[in-house]
Amino acid sequence: SASDSQIFIIGCGVSGIGAAQKLLKHGFHNVHIIEATARSGGRIRTGRLGDNIVEIGANWIHGPSKENPVFRLACDYQLLDKESMSEENQTIDIGGHPLFVPNWFTSSGRKLGPETMGPVMDFFMKLLEKSQQFHDGGGEPLPSVGEFIKAEVERLAPEEWKEDQANIAIIMAMINTLLKLECCVSGTHTMDDVGLGAFGMYKTLPGLDCIFPGGYEGLIDHMMMELPKDVVLYNKPVKCIHWNYTKNGPKTTGTSFPVMIECVNGETFAADHVIVTVPLGYLKKHQSTFMSPPLPLHKLHSIQRMGFGTNNKIFLEFEQPFWDEDCEVIYLVWEDETHLADVVSDVKMSWIRKLIGFNVLKPTERYGHVLCGWIAGWESEYMETLSEPEVLHSVTQLLRIFTGNPTITPRKLLRSRWFHDPYSCGSYTYVAKGCSGYDIDNLAEPLPLKGSNSKSLQVLFAGEATHGSFFSTVHGALLSGWREAERLITHYTPASGSVSSKL
């Protein structure tokens, strides 16, 4: 029966916690989460830079409005400030690209004015919107978003800036910064890897993106408080999930368990159902050893085809700001990048060129003068291999060039290293060139497949990567955990409609 079945959830990120919460609420009591590390939260991770709270992982609630379950939870737990919860904030629809007040600095130490940057940003936003329109229609003119944007820029820019030929070089360089920024948004090495046909699959919700003033991890802490203390088994990386397994000892009821979970430390756990929530990057890296028997080929191929890249942050603290008081985001423009290319030619020498700029952490009264830099791709993965002083040196040189101020010196630095995190292996999912919604369906499909004679729903799959329209987000992850919990709940609900008395 449902309440007796042994359920293990692999991974204590928001999707795993969400799944556990729903199952326990529904009356399942043999529910455990096995987590590789010593903490809950996974890619939600709040850290410290001096006295300041900084987000190493997820930053915003994307689209904070009633339909967003993360927003609803955050409101229930009273984790947001008044403004974020206001009706007005919830109705603002920015289509996923918040309109921060920008400052633009160039590699010759110039600051660009709104008359140059405004039209360039509008032009680029229109191209992004266009890129989203091929979803489901088929017949996309080019395989990737990067190739499409580059072709459109070549086609449309001469006409758009016919009257402004003198500035065309700097305009192209600005567009190049925006293209690199999209690599951060999508979490990819290059926009040439992001599929054009599927770009519109990602859905945005209304609401002006907001933060957790006390840290994103507050959400995790509150969700954890609703779970019994001993639900999570920490510091137990799972090595292999043996499904269709026949050697587990007899259960008290007389039947045996179909799944055996083997941990790196040799411990084993017998289960009726396992919900796997490990990141797609982890599955890619360990695909040949993580499941036994191995995953069915179509599932394996989708894991290989789907995109999972790196987006990292570099936090810097300053004595004094070098940006305008109202500035919310700083963009860096390399004046020599007049030919659109979102990858650097020599990663070791020029990785820093991939750093597109910084968010200014607000309010200043809370943070002082702290910037959050963004860098994606292989350049970002290379940055992870450098020591903190090496990164600080490169960033300091960069800022001196772009501000024209040879004395600027950040006083503290903190950077994320998501690619080298052994249990993330990158940042988040994107739909790669050649992928479609079917690949996400394949990722989410439970094992064994329908039609097999063995016990059903042995292994289920949740996590950010398995959500068809909100992949790469916290709300997508949470919804995927709930979805797999529901799948089990439905499985144990008699078809007649009345819920088993044991529940």
State yes or no: residue 68 binds ligand 6YU (CB under 6 A): no
Cβ-based nearer residue to ligand 6YU, 21 or 472:
472
Strands 273-276 and 459-461: parallel
196 touches 145 (CB < 8 A): yes
CB count in 10 Å sphere of residue 454? 13
Binding to ligand 6YU (CB under 6 A) within 393-432 occurs at 416, 418, 423-424, 427-428
Q: Which two tokens stand for residue 457?
A: 């729903």
Residues 159-198 vs ligand 6YU: string with x where CB under 6 A? --------------------------xx------------
Cβ-based nearer residue to ligand 6YU, 198 or 401:
198
173 touches 416 (CB < 8 A): no
Instruction: State which of residues 311, 380, 442, 458 lies at the interface with ligand 6YU (CB under 6 A).
Output: 311
Does residue 6 sit in helix, strand or coil? Answer: coil
Q: Report how far residue 349's alpha carbon sits from residue 95's, in angstroms, rounded to the nearest whole number.
A: 36
Cβ-based nearer residue to ligand 6YU, 131 or 176:
131
Question: How many residues lie near ligand 6YU (CB under 6 A)?
Answer: 43
- In 3D space, the residue among 20, 62, 81 whose CA is nearest the CA of residue 363 turns out to be 81
> How do the residues of the chain divide into helix, strand and coil, expressed in percent and rounded to 5?
40, 20, 45
- What CA–CA distances, in Å, run from 181 to 224, 278, 311? 34, 27, 10
State yes or no: residue 59 binds ligand 6YU (CB under 6 A): yes
The least distance separating ligand 6YU from the CB of residue 296, rounded to whole angstroms, comes to: 20
DSSP for 60-128, written as a single string? -BSS-STT-HHHHHHHHTT-S-HHHHSHHHHH---TT---PPEEEEETTS-EE-HHHHHHHHHHHHHHH
Instruction: State which of residues 3, 37, 338, 396 lies at the interface with ligand 6YU (CB under 6 A).
Output: 37
Instruction: State which of residues 7, 13, 333, 447 lies at the interface with ligand 6YU (CB under 6 A).
Output: 13
- Exposure on the CB side of residue 143, measured as CA atoms within 13 A: 6
Binding to ligand 6YU (CB under 6 A) within 334-363 occurs at none
- In 3D space, the residue among 306, 300, 308 whose CA is nearest the CA of residue 449 turns out to be 300
State yes or no: residue 378 binds ligand 6YU (CB under 6 A): no
The least distance separating ligand 6YU from the CB of residue 162, rounded to whole angstroms, comes to: 29
Q: Which two tokens stand for residue 489?
A: 């709940």
The least distance separating ligand 6YU from the CB of residue 260, rounded to whole angstroms, comes to: 15
State yes or no: residue 493 binds ligand 6YU (CB under 6 A): no
Residues 193-222 vs ligand 6YU: string with x where CB under 6 A? ---------x--------------------
Q: Report how far residue 172's alpha carbon sits from residue 62's, in angstroms, rounded to the nearest whole number.
A: 29
Which range touches ligand 6YU (CB under 6 A), out of 53-61, 172-180, 217-225, 396-404? 53-61
State yes or no: residue 34 binds ligand 6YU (CB under 6 A): yes
Which range touches ligand 6YU (CB under 6 A), out of 34-42, 116-124, 162-170, 492-500? 34-42
Q: Which residues bind ligand 6YU (CB under 6 A)?
A: 10-16, 34-37, 42-44, 57-60, 62, 96, 185-186, 202, 237-238, 277-279, 282, 311, 313, 416, 418, 423-424, 427-428, 463-464, 472-474, 477
